[in-house]
Amino acid sequence: MQTDQPRPSRRSRLVRVILGRLALSLLLGLGIVAGLILGDVVAIPNRLNPFTPLRVADDVNWLTRLKLSRLERDREQCRAVLADAPVVHRSVADRPLDKGCGLSDAVEVSRSSIGLNREFTATCPLAVAWSLFETHVLRPVAREQFGQDVVRVVHLGTYACRNINHRAQGRRSEHATANAIDVAGFVLADGQQVTVQADWVGGNSRRSAFLRALRNGACNVFDVVLSPDYNEVHHDHFHFDMGSHRACR
């Protein structure tokens, strides 16, 4: 037995036709604009051009994350971007994954635009993201909050063959491939020390505002940003990574 199906009204058919034509017009318009940009007919700044490689010197905007994601798939482009960044580094030999731990397209960063308590090993995309963070978040926020520069970053390391939150079972941490960095504190030009553990809650109000501004700014650069607001495990540090997930806590 056949059941009559309600026929779309004339109005709904008309709406679908209009929406389809609008979508087609939009795609054609985007194609024309892309062609003009790629053909150098229309000149736009590098930072606003989705087809040009990332430059650390360019301001962070809505295209930054798109360009960063390309570096994860293009090793040569990532190294070219890093070569133009204020980061002293050397290549590290690949180490095939063994039980979820290993290195691929990694570098050892000995110094960046700001001093480090010690060198660290990081994937190339993480090293680029770190340089962006220093240039467009850390240094400007320090000048805004304290009127001076940060001269040293105190980090807890990058590579560690372990699971998330040091659990015995579960998924491997981004630290297992040197795709994450934990940051505990900062030293200002006048010797003043700001630490996540002491100043996130209950510390000097300016230091607390500084740390929260850093957390918020980092979310525009890294894929995952975790602070003491996330859980007790992160009570004394920020976790920044360039993994496949997205979080800002």
What is the structure's pLDDT at 142? 98
Shared domain for 34 and 62, answered yes or no, is: no
Phi first, then psi: what are they for 68, rounded to 5°? -65, -40
- Domain range holding 127? 52-248
Q: Would you say residue 1 lies in a domain?
A: no
Instruction: Dihedral sign for Cα 37, 38, 41, 43, please.
Output: positive
Shared domain for 23 and 104, answered yes or no, is: no
Q: Would you say residue 4 lies in a domain?
A: no
Phi first, then psi: what are they for 154, rounded to 5°? -105, 110
Mean pLDDT of 76-103: 96
Q: Would you say residue 2 lies in a domain?
A: no
Shared domain for 37 and 128, answered yes or no, is: no
Q: Would you say residue 24 lies in a domain?
A: yes
Shared domain for 127 and 162, answered yes or no, is: yes
CA contacts within 13 A on the Cβ side of 104 = 14
- pLDDT tier at 19 (50, 70, 90 boundaries)? confident
Q: Would you say residue 137 lies in a domain?
A: yes
What is the structure's pLDDT at 11? 74
Pairing of strands 238-241, 180-188: antiparallel
Q: Would you say residue 34 lies in a domain?
A: yes
- Tens of pLDDT, residues 21-35: 777 666 665 455 445
Shared domain for 37 and 150, answered yes or no, is: no
What is the structure's pLDDT at 227? 98
Shared domain for 199 and 83, answered yes or no, is: yes
Q: Would you say residue 94 lies in a domain?
A: yes
* Euclidean distance between CA atoms 22 and 13, whole angstroms: 14
List strand residue ranges (DSSP E) for 47-195, in order. 88-92, 95-98, 101-103, 106-111, 115-116, 120-123, 150-157, 180-188, 193-195
Lowest mean pLDDT among 41-45, 114-118, 169-173: 41-45
Predicted structure pTM score? 0.83
Q: Are 146 and 192 contacting, i.e. CB atoms less than 8 angstroms apart?
A: yes
Shared domain for 32 and 62, answered yes or no, is: no
What stretches of the chain show up as alpha helix (H) in DSSP? 10-38, 64-71, 75-83, 124-133, 139-146, 196-199, 205-218
Q: Are 196 and 184 contacting, i.e. CB atoms less than 8 angstroms apart?
A: yes
* Euclidean distance between CA atoms 35 and 30, whole angstroms: 8
Shared domain for 16 and 80, answered yes or no, is: no
What is the structure's pLDDT at 65? 93
What is the structure's pLDDT at 31? 54
DSSP run (H or E) holding 158: none
- Tens of pLDDT, residues 35-89: 544 555 556 777 788 889 999 999 999 999 999 999 999 999 999 999 999 999 9
Tell me which residue has tokens 């240094």. 139
Burial of 130 (0-12, 13-18, 19+ CB in 10 A): buried
Shared domain for 25 and 107, answered yes or no, is: no
Sorted by sequence, the CB contacts under 8 Å of residue 149 that are 6+ apart come out as: 114, 139, 142, 143, 188, 189
Q: Would you say residue 215 lies in a domain?
A: yes
What is the structure's pLDDT at 35? 54
The whole-chain average pLDDT of the chain stands at: 89
What is the structure's pLDDT at 207? 96
* Euclidean distance between CA atoms 245 and 208, whole angstroms: 27
Shared domain for 170 and 231, answered yes or no, is: yes
Shared domain for 36 and 56, answered yes or no, is: no
* Euclidean distance between CA atoms 157 and 155, whole angstroms: 6
Above pLDDT 70, what percent of the chain?
Answer: 88
Shared domain for 100 and 19, answered yes or no, is: no
Specify the number of domains making up the chain.
2
Which of 97, 52, 48, 107 lies closest to 75 in space, CA to CA?
Answer: 107
